[in-house]
Amino acid sequence: MKARTVIILWMLSAILLPLLGILGALFKIQHWPLAWVWEVCAWLFSAIITVVLASKILRYPGFKDFLDR
């Protein structure tokens, strides 16, 4: 996966996570069914993006040199 794709996914997560969180909160406040689905979607999306971004950063060739500075 290219760095550009990871950055685009990260930007989408920055937009979608608050929206999914707000929808989950709204569903819970209104006592509508399936409120947990919105919250689980937000958490899973966040976890997937974090893992992909971390793996991309850790596999970068200059990562160890950056940490040694």
Answer for the pair 27, 35: CB distance below 8 angstroms, yes or no: yes
- pTM score of the predicted model: 0.64
**Is residue 50 predicted with pLDDT exceeding 80?**
yes
As a whole number of angstroms, the distance between CA 6 and CA 53 comes to 6
Q: Where are the domains of the chain?
A: 3-68
Mean pLDDT of 48-66: 80
Query: What are the tens digits of pLDDT across the range 5-45?
Result: 777 877 887 888 888 888 888 888 999 888 888 888 888 88
Residue 69: what pLDDT?
64
Answer for the pair 21, 42: CB distance below 8 angstroms, yes or no: yes
